[in-house]
Amino acid sequence: KHAAKIRLDDVKGEQSREKDKADRATSEQVLDQRTRMILLQMINRGFVSEVHGAISTGKEANVYGAVAYPDLDGPPIQRAIKVYKTAILSFKDRERYITGEHRFKSGAEKGNSRKMVKLWAEKEFRNLRRIHSAGIKCPEPIQLKLHVLVMELLGDRKGYAYPRLRDAAISGDDSEEVWRSLYIQLLGIMRRMYQVCRLVHADLSEYNILYNNRQLYIIDVSQSVEHDHPRSLEFLRMDIKNTGDFFRREGVDILPDRVVFDFVTV
Ligand code: ADP
Ligand code: MN
């Protein structure tokens, strides 16, 4: 029924798109056997039909483009698959998010990196679901299996992902006005995330926000914490500072951090 096709050359890290050689050289290793089995299982179940090349290769995860054909003759749906890496090193930094997070019941998992990546993927999945349900623009979470998360691709119908806010090409006569309205939009998102989702992003910056057509999309929420996490307000202040700094550099007359903090939390 499904065009069950896995382009293993792509999955191995070959870029399916035209990309320069330097990019290709850095673009990551072969997927391990377990990960490939999970991808094949997802193909068999129809969550995805084809897995393409890497959109992003990071320290803690790789993100791949993928396509699903839910209906025989229907249009393809673009998806993104985030594969968390089992490297222990990348999880050292993350301890501060776990300590005090009641969703990580015990610290017993700390030594087991397979369990750890599974927990991170789970946390991202649940946070995305909460954020998406609250009407905040973010990838819709589709499917989770161990350390592999399938979500909606934020991109065009051809599978090109939207740029990060960092790389957004915003120009023209009204660019000043656009930047200002994006700043206001982000304040609203932070407030809604706090008030409705009861979450603090905790790694919010121009790198974890995607941009298209005057809309901001929130991504990368595996480290986001509940508002009752003992350090949530510290993380919130950091989010406010980082995003404020960015918008200031883009020429926006930003509000003082304190004022934003009160707007978000009160
Ligand atoms: P990390 O920063 O931990 O590597 P992210 O979740 O930030 O992981 O994803 C890395 C990059 O992959 C993002 O900066 C973005 O460019 C791209 N990306 C992630 N999720 C999606 C998605 N759902 N749609 C489109 N692009 C995505
Ligand atoms: Mn990121």
CATH 3.30.200.20 in the chain: give the residue spans: 8-152
Summarize the confidence of residues 117-126 as an average pLDDT.
95
Pocket test for ligand 1, best of 28, 79, 210 (most atoms within 8 A of CB): 210
pLDDT score of 104 = 67
How many Å lie between the centroid of ligand 2 and the Cα of residue 1?
35
The architecture in CATH of the region 8-152 reads: 2-Layer Sandwich (3.30)
Asked if residue 151 has its Cβ within 6 Å of ligand 1, the reply is yes
CATH 1.10.510.10 in the chain: give the residue spans: 165-265
Q: Known catalytic residue: 71?
A: no
pLDDT digits (tens, 9 = 90+) for 212-231: 999 999 999 999 999 999 99
Instruction: For domain 165-265, say whether CATH 3.30.70.3270 is its number.
Output: no
How many Å lie between the centroid of ligand 2 and the Cα of residue 2?
31
How many Å lie between the centroid of ligand 1 and the Cα of residue 103?
23
More confident residue, 7 or 40: 40
Q: Known catalytic residue: 10?
A: no
d(CA 150, CA 80): 6
Q: Of the listed 203, 228, 245, 262, which one is catalytic?
A: 203
